[in-house]
A and B are shown apart, each in its own frame.
Chain A
Amino acid sequence: MSQKPSRRRFARAAAAVLIGACCSGAAAAQSPPPLVRILAEELDRNFRALKEADPAPYYMAYEVTEREAGAASATLGALKSSDRARTRSLDITIRLGSPKLDNYHRIAGERVDFTSAAPLPLDDNEAAVRQRVWLETNRVYRAAAARLVRIRTSQKVNVKEADSSNDFSIEPPQTHFEQPAPFLFNAEEIAARVRKWSAAFDKFPALVTSGVALAAQRETKYFVDTDGARLEHGRGFAGIIVNAAAKAADGMDLYSGETLDGDSVAGLPKDEAVFAAIDRVGSDVSGLLRAPVVDPFVGPAILSGKAAAVLFHEIFGHRVEGHRQKDESEGQTFTASVGAPVLPDFLSVIFDPTRRVFNGLPLNGYYTYDDEGVKAQPVTVVDKGILKSFLMSRSPIKGFDHSNGHGRRQPGLEPVSRQSNLFVESSRQVTEAQLRDMLLAEIKKQGKPYGLYFREVTGGFTTTARAGLQAFKVIPIVVYRVYPDGRPDELVRGADIVGTPLASFSKIVAVADRPEVFNGYCGAESGSVPVSAVSPAILVSEIEIEKKAKSDDRPPLLAAPPAGVVK
Chain B
Amino acid sequence: MMRCVALLLAAACAAPAQSGDVILRAMRDEMERSRALRIVSLEAPYFIEYQLEDAENFNASASLGALVNSNRVRLRVPRIVVRVGDYQLDNTNYVGTDYYGGTRWDTSQFPLDDSYNVLRRYLWLGTDTAFKAALEAYSRKRAILGNVNAAQELPDFWKAPPVEVIRNGSPKPVDEAQWTGRLRRLSSIFLDYPAVTSSAVEFQAGQSIQYIANSEGTRVRVPENVFEVRARATALAPDGMMLHDAVAFDAPDADRLPAGAGIERGIRELAANLSALAAAPAGDSYTGPVLFEGTAGAQILAELLGRNLAASRRPVLPPGRTLPFAPGELEGRVGSRILPEWMDVVDDPLQTEWRGHALFGHYEVDMEGVVPKPLTLVEKGVLKNLLLTRQPVNGFSASNGHARLPGAFGARTAAIGNLFVSASESVPAAALKAKLIELCRRRNKPYGMLVRKMDFPSSATIAEARGLLAASQSAGGRPVSSPVLVYRVYQDGREELVRGLRFRGLDTRSLKDILAASTEQYAFDFLDNTAPFALTGGAAFVSEASVVAPAILIDDLEMDRAEQAFEKPPLVPPPPRDAKAAAVR
Contact = CB atoms under 8 A, between A and B. Distances in A.
Pick from B74, B112, B123 the residue with the most CB of A within 10 Å: B112
A208 interface: yes
Nearest to B111: A78
Contact of B577 (A127, A556, A563): A127
B186 to A, nearest CB: 13
B191 A77 contact: no
A536 to B, nearest CB: 35
Interface in A81-138: 81-87, 119-123, 125-135, 137-138
B117 interface: yes
Pick from A120, A251, A557 the residue with the most CB of B within 10 Å: A557
B71 interface: yes
Contacts of B73: 83
A125 B115 contact: no
Nearest to A87: B69
Interface stretch (B99-107, B265-273, B526-534): B99-107
A125 B103 contact: no
A128 B63 contact: yes
Given A49-B573, A134-B572, A119 B69 contact: yes
Contacts of B70: 86, 122
Contact of A78 (B34, B115, B580): B115
B179 to A, nearest CB: 14
A558 B125 contact: no
B581 A556 contact: no
Interface string B93-132: 0000000011101100111110111111101110010011
A246 B39 CA distance: 20
B65 interface: yes
A552 B101 CA distance: 9
Given A135-B570, A209-B106, A77 B63 contact: no
B572 A138 contact: yes
B310 to A, nearest CB: 34
A138 B568 CA distance: 10
B67 A123 contact: yes
B124 A560 contact: yes
Contact of A76 (B72, B101, B109, B121): B121
Given A558-B33, A561-B120, A45 B575 contact: yes
Nearest to A252: B103
B514 interface: no
Contacts of A49: 571-573
B331 interface: no
Contact of B64 (A46, A75, A80, A127): A127
Contacts of B573: 49
Nearest to B110: A80
A80 to B, nearest CB: 5
A565 B116 CA distance: 9
Interface string A548-561: 00011110111011
Contacts of A563: 117, 121
B68 A121 contact: yes
A126 B581 contact: yes
Interface string A191-207: 00001000000000000
Contacts of B25: 566
A53 interface: yes
Contacts of A45: 572, 575
Pick from A42, A86, A128 the residue with the most CB of B within 10 Å: A128
Pick from B71, B101, B121 the residue with the most CB of A within 10 Å: B121
B397 interface: no
A320 B39 CA distance: 54
A194 B527 CA distance: 37
Interface in B51-102: 62-75, 101-102
Contacts of B184: 123
B197 interface: yes
Contacts of B101: 551, 553
A560 B121 contact: yes
A7 interface: no
A557 B117 contact: no
A156 interface: no
B324 interface: no
B118 A78 contact: yes
Interface string B15-33: 0000000000100011001
B575 to A, nearest CB: 4
B539 interface: no
Given A85-B71, A128-B64, A141-B571, A135 B198 contact: yes
Nearest to B72: A84
A247 B102 CA distance: 11
Interface string A459-483: 0000000000000000000000000
Contacts of A556: 124-125, 128
A567 interface: yes
B65 A78 contact: no
B116 A567 contact: yes
Interface in A53-73: 53
A76 B570 CA distance: 56
Contacts of A78: 111-113, 115, 118-119
A253 interface: yes
Interface string A246-278: 010001010000000000000000000000000
Contacts of A84: 71-72
A250 to B, nearest CB: 12
Interface in A529-567: 551-554, 556-558, 560-561, 563-567
Interface in B223-270: none
B565 to A, nearest CB: 13
Given A121-B67, A122-B70, A561-B30, A79 B111 contact: yes
Contacts of A82: 74, 112
B55 to A, nearest CB: 12
B37 interface: yes
Given A553-B102, A567-B116, A134 B68 contact: no
B105 A121 contact: no
A366 to B, nearest CB: 28
Contacts of B191: 127
Contacts of B75: 81
B574 interface: yes
B567 interface: yes
Interface string A300-312: 0000000000000
B584 interface: yes
A142 interface: yes
A498 interface: no
A24 B85 CA distance: 83
A87 B68 CA distance: 8
A229 interface: no
B118 A76 contact: yes
B581 A128 contact: yes
B570 A125 contact: no
A430 interface: no
A191 to B, nearest CB: 9
B578 interface: yes
Nearest to B39: A557
A204 B67 CA distance: 46
A533 B252 CA distance: 53
B64 A125 contact: yes
Nearest to A247: B103
B127 to A, nearest CB: 8
30 contacts: A45-B572, A50-B571, A50-B572, A76-B117, A77-B113, A77-B118, A78-B111, A78-B118, A80-B111, A81-B75, A82-B112, A120-B68, A125-B64, A128-B68, A129-B66, A130-B575, A132-B63, A132-B198, A134-B575, A135-B198, A553-B132, A554-B132, A556-B128, A557-B37, A558-B33, A558-B34, A558-B36, A560-B124, A561-B123, A566-B117
Interface of A: 42, 45-46, 49-50, 53, 74-87, 119-123, 125-135, 137-138, 141-142, 195, 208-209, 245, 247, 251, 253, 551-554, 556-558, 560-561, 563-567
Give 6 closest A-B pairs by Cβ, nearest first.
A553-B102, A121-B66, A127-B581, A128-B66, A125-B66, A130-B575
